[in-house]
Amino acid sequence: MPGLAEKLGTLYDYLLPYRRRLIQAVVLAVVVTLIGLLPPLVIKVIVDHLLVGGITWLFWPMVIALAAVPIINQLVGKAFRLLTQNTAAKLTFDVRFGLYRHVTALPLGYFDKHSTGMVLERLMGDVNKFQQLVTGQVLTLATDVVMATFSIYVMLAINWHLALVLLAVVPLYVLNHRFFVRRIRASNEQFRAKMDDVSGHLEERLTGTALVKSYGMERTETRNFTVETHAALQHSSRARGLMVAFSNTAELVHWAGYRGIFLLGCYLVIDGGMSYGDVLAFTSYAMFLLGPAVRFSQLVNQIEQTMVSVRRVKELLGEQPEPDRGWVVNHPDASFRGRVQLDKVSFAYEPDNPVLKEVSLDVPAGKTVALVGRTGCGKTTLTSLLYRFYRPTHGRILLDGHDIAELDLGTLRKQLAVVPQDAVLFEGTAAENIAYGRSNATREQIVAAAKLAEIHDVLENLPNGYDTPLGQAGAKLSGGQKQRLVIARAVLVDPVVLILDEATSSLDTESERLIQRALRKVMRNRTCFVIAHRLSTIQHADLIVVMDEGHILETGTHAELLARPDSHYGNMYRRQFARIGRDKEQAAAVA
Ligand SMILES: Nc1ncnc2c1ncn2[C@@H]1O[C@H](COP(=O)(O)OP(=O)(O)O)[C@@H](O)[C@H]1O
Ligand SMILES: [Mg+2]
């Protein structure tokens, strides 16, 4: 099926292993449907040949036939359902697994441009839709086509005049259905959208109860809530009204059609054109036709909607993963010492908007370099480039003489660790969180890292020690404690290059002092990039790099830079110092 393969793209590859089972499922579905279509014919035989014709030996065979149909139908039907459900579950698993693996291999830039919610929706919602298409909608379509074809065939065979009359009634039924269902769906969607608004609003207000109360806004909020829920109520009443109208008209058409056909049939019996068994069989098949007729028009719609999901999954699968050449150094014993060189590195997130401009820097192994400069001058971006989260537009970055663009990505990232401003903890125990970057670490190693990061005492005193759950639902650690736990995590992987990106900026001075002590131990014998606003924390760096709008303005040690007559660093330092002095004076005055 080349057309299908093209429509599904790489998703088609996921179907291939299940092709045989899917075809089996379709065949079984068709068999089950056909068996289910037999009873009216059996009844026709009973009426025409047994009752009217008087062929009495037909009695038991017909009884057996009537009894066998539901039994076979049940057995085959159950087997069929099991088969399809299992296949569906496996297929969904495969697709979701493949998609997740693909998503994890995408470059960070992809996540800058696409929201997490959207990626999540593709992984969960859209993959489910794909499953529905393969195992639900396609099967329904197949069985409906069989049901409709068979019914129409039998009806034409019984009496083609009557069949044509019926085929004229069916569109009426379908039109009625389409008219109402579209409106009901719209009302329901409006209702749901309104309710989403309401619960979103409610969540905000409930979490912000203190804010609401502090401004005395309870009454206003209650009024807003009433107005919103009232609108929702109106949409749902409208939907209910439409439902009643729909089922009334549908029943009316159904009833009129059924009775009309029956009466017409009876007339034909009297006229001699049809047997009474024909009439019974005919009316049954007429009813069999209504279901598929209505479903068909919906199904086309549904499949169209599902194809939107399929297209989105296909698109995501088509995104290029992070390039990983890895042919220079990817043997595990390659040892790095930590010399980092930037050679005229330029970079831009968006074309025409350069963030780094020809930055050159040579950091000897084991030294500490501090990056200072205004917010937005490109400090974090520079460290992201070390990780190869993004690639420089020009220039090269070397780690111990190897161009990092040519290193194996895993090897490169194993040499680095970052302590960011906001500590991220995952669900899991304290020990698991520390060992995140090195899952085979022993408890001794974890404890050693925690001691180095000065968090050991805190963790030991948690209810279950290192095995206490942290994260969203876990024990609450203070900002400084979290930060030290993240430092332990970084230390445990024993990185050659450690990056501290405003690691202490959001902490109070007391926690900062503790962390500084931890950091001093951790920073020994590694190359460190320290980004900090408080210049007091970086005075002892081996090299201070002052950046501005993607340029390096000046470099030197604290003493060197202060000694220069009009150095930017000197100005910054004196300003901060003056402010701290003022704060201290004020504090003294207040006291
Ligand atoms: N993921 C991103 N996508 C696009 N622009 C970004 C992204 N991250 C940072 N920027 C922009 O790049 C510039 C440098 O940012 P950043 O490196 O975070 O600065 P700093 O860490 O020095 O405060 C800023 O103008 C910022 O808006
Ligand atoms: Mg930053």
Domain ranges of the chain: 1-158+306-321, 160-273, 332-415+500-552, 425-494
Per-residue pLDDT at 58? 87
> pLDDT tens digits, residue range 33-50?
899 999 999 999 999 998
Q: Of the CATH numbers 3.30.565.10, 3.40.50.300, 3.10.105.10, 3.10.510.20, which one belongs to the domain with range 425-494? A: 3.40.50.300
pLDDT greater at residue 525 or residue 531: 531
Contact of 404 with 325, CB cutoff 8 Å: no
Contact of 391 with 405, CB cutoff 8 Å: yes
Per-residue pLDDT at 345? 96
Ligand 1 pocket, 383 CB below 6 A? Answer: no
Q: What percent of the chain has pLDDT over 70?
A: 95
- Ligand 1 midpoint to CA 346 (Å): 14
- Ligand 2 midpoint to CA 288 (Å): 67
Rounded to an integer, the average pLDDT of 405-434 is 90
* Burial zone of 203 (CB within 10 Å; 0-12 exposed, 13-18 middle, 19+ buried): exposed
Q: Whose CA is nearest to atom 20 of ligand 1?
A: 376
Would you place residue 587 in the very low, low, confident or very high pLDDT band (cuts 50, 70, 90)? low
- Ligand 2 midpoint to CA 45 (Å): 84
Ligand 1 pocket, 374 CB below 6 A? Answer: no
- Ligand 2 midpoint to CA 531 (Å): 8
DSSP-derived secondary structure letter, 416: E
Query: Number of C-alpha atoms within 13 angstroms, CB side, residue 236?
Result: 11
Q: Considering only 104-108, 147-151, 346-350, 577-581, which range has the smallest mean pLDDT? A: 577-581
Q: Which atom, in ligand 1's list, is nearest to the CA of 371?
A: 22
Rounded to an integer, the average pLDDT of 328-350 is 81
pLDDT at 474 over 70: no
For a substitution probing ligand 1, which of 112, 113, 346, 355 has the most ligand atoms within 8 Å of its CB? 355
Query: Token digits for 465?
Result: 């020690």
- Ligand 2 midpoint to CA 273 (Å): 88
Per-residue pLDDT at 13? 87
- Ligand 2 midpoint to CA 398 (Å): 22
Single-letter residue type at 339: R
Question: Which ligand does the CA of 110 lie closest to?
Answer: 1
Q: Considering only 119-133, 214-228, 347-361, 545-559, which range has the smallest mean pLDDT? A: 119-133
Question: Which ligand does the CA of 376 lie closest to?
Answer: 1
Question: Which ligand does the CA of 379 lie closest to?
Answer: 1
> Which is nearest to 505 in space by CA: 385, 423, 584?
423
Per-residue pLDDT at 174? 83
Distance CA 427, CA 558 (A): 41
Per-residue pLDDT at 299? 81
Sheet holding 340-348, edge to edge: 354-363, 340-348, 394-399, 402-403
Query: Around Cβ 137, how many Cβ atoms within 10 Å?
Result: 19
pLDDT at 293 over 90: no
Enumerate the H helices of 438-506 as residue ranges.
Answer: 443-452, 456-460, 479-492
Would you place residue 240 in the very low, low, confident or very high pLDDT band (cuts 50, 70, 90)? very high
> Which is nearest to 122 in space by CA: 138, 149, 102?
102
Rounded to an integer, the average pLDDT of 143-156 is 92
Would you place residue 491 in the very low, low, confident or very high pLDDT band (cuts 50, 70, 90)? very high
Distance CA 282, CA 250 (A): 20
Ligand 1 pocket, 380 CB below 6 A? Answer: yes
Ligand 1 pocket, 355 CB below 6 A? Answer: yes
For a substitution probing ligand 1, which of 349, 375, 379 has the most ligand atoms within 8 Å of its CB? 349
To the nearest whole number, what is the mean pLDDT of the chain? 88
Per-residue pLDDT at 129? 86
- Ligand 1 midpoint to CA 381 (Å): 6
Paired strand residues for 348:
354
Per-residue pLDDT at 493? 92
Dihedrals φ, ψ of 383, to 5°?
Answer: -70, -30
The CATH number of domain 1-158+306-321 is 3.40.50.11540: no
Dihedral, 346, 348, 349, 353 alpha carbons, nearest 10: 160
Per-residue pLDDT at 387? 93
Q: Which sign, positive or negative, has the C-alpha torsion 360, 363, 364, 365?
A: negative
Would you place residue 133 in the very low, low, confident or very high pLDDT band (cuts 50, 70, 90)? confident
Q: Whose CA is nearest to atom 9 of ligand 1?
A: 381
Would you place residue 365 in the very low, low, confident or very high pLDDT band (cuts 50, 70, 90)? very high
> Which is nearest to 411 in space by CA: 402, 423, 424?
402
Single-letter residue type at 313: V
Question: Which ligand does the CA of 502 lie closest to?
Answer: 2
Ligand 1 pocket, 379 CB below 6 A? Answer: yes
pLDDT at 82 over 80: yes
Would you place residue 21 in the very low, low, confident or very high pLDDT band (cuts 50, 70, 90)? confident
Would you place residue 489 in the very low, low, confident or very high pLDDT band (cuts 50, 70, 90)? very high
pLDDT at 258 over 60: yes
Query: Token digits for 242?
Result: 């439409």
Per-residue pLDDT at 528? 95
Q: Of the CATH numbers 3.40.50.300, 3.90.1150.10, 3.40.1080.10, 3.90.650.10, which one belongs to the domain with range 332-415+500-552? A: 3.40.50.300
Question: Which ligand does the CA of 505 lie closest to?
Answer: 2
Q: Whose CA is nearest to atom 6 of ligand 1?
A: 349
Query: Around Cβ 217, how many Cβ atoms within 10 Å?
Result: 15
Ligand 1 pocket, 546 CB below 6 A? Answer: no
Ligand 1 pocket, 384 CB below 6 A? Answer: no
pLDDT at 329 over 60: no
* Residue in the block written with tokens 């085929």: 167
- Ligand 1 midpoint to CA 495 (Å): 25
Distance CA 140, CA 146 (A): 10
Ligand 1 pocket, 349 CB below 6 A? Answer: yes
Same fold, 1-158+306-321 and 425-494: no
Q: Which residues contact 202 (CB under 8 A, 6 or more apart)?
A: 225
Ligand 1 pocket, 135 CB below 6 A? Answer: no
- Which pTM does this prediction carry? 0.77
Dihedrals φ, ψ of 121, to 5°?
Answer: -60, -40
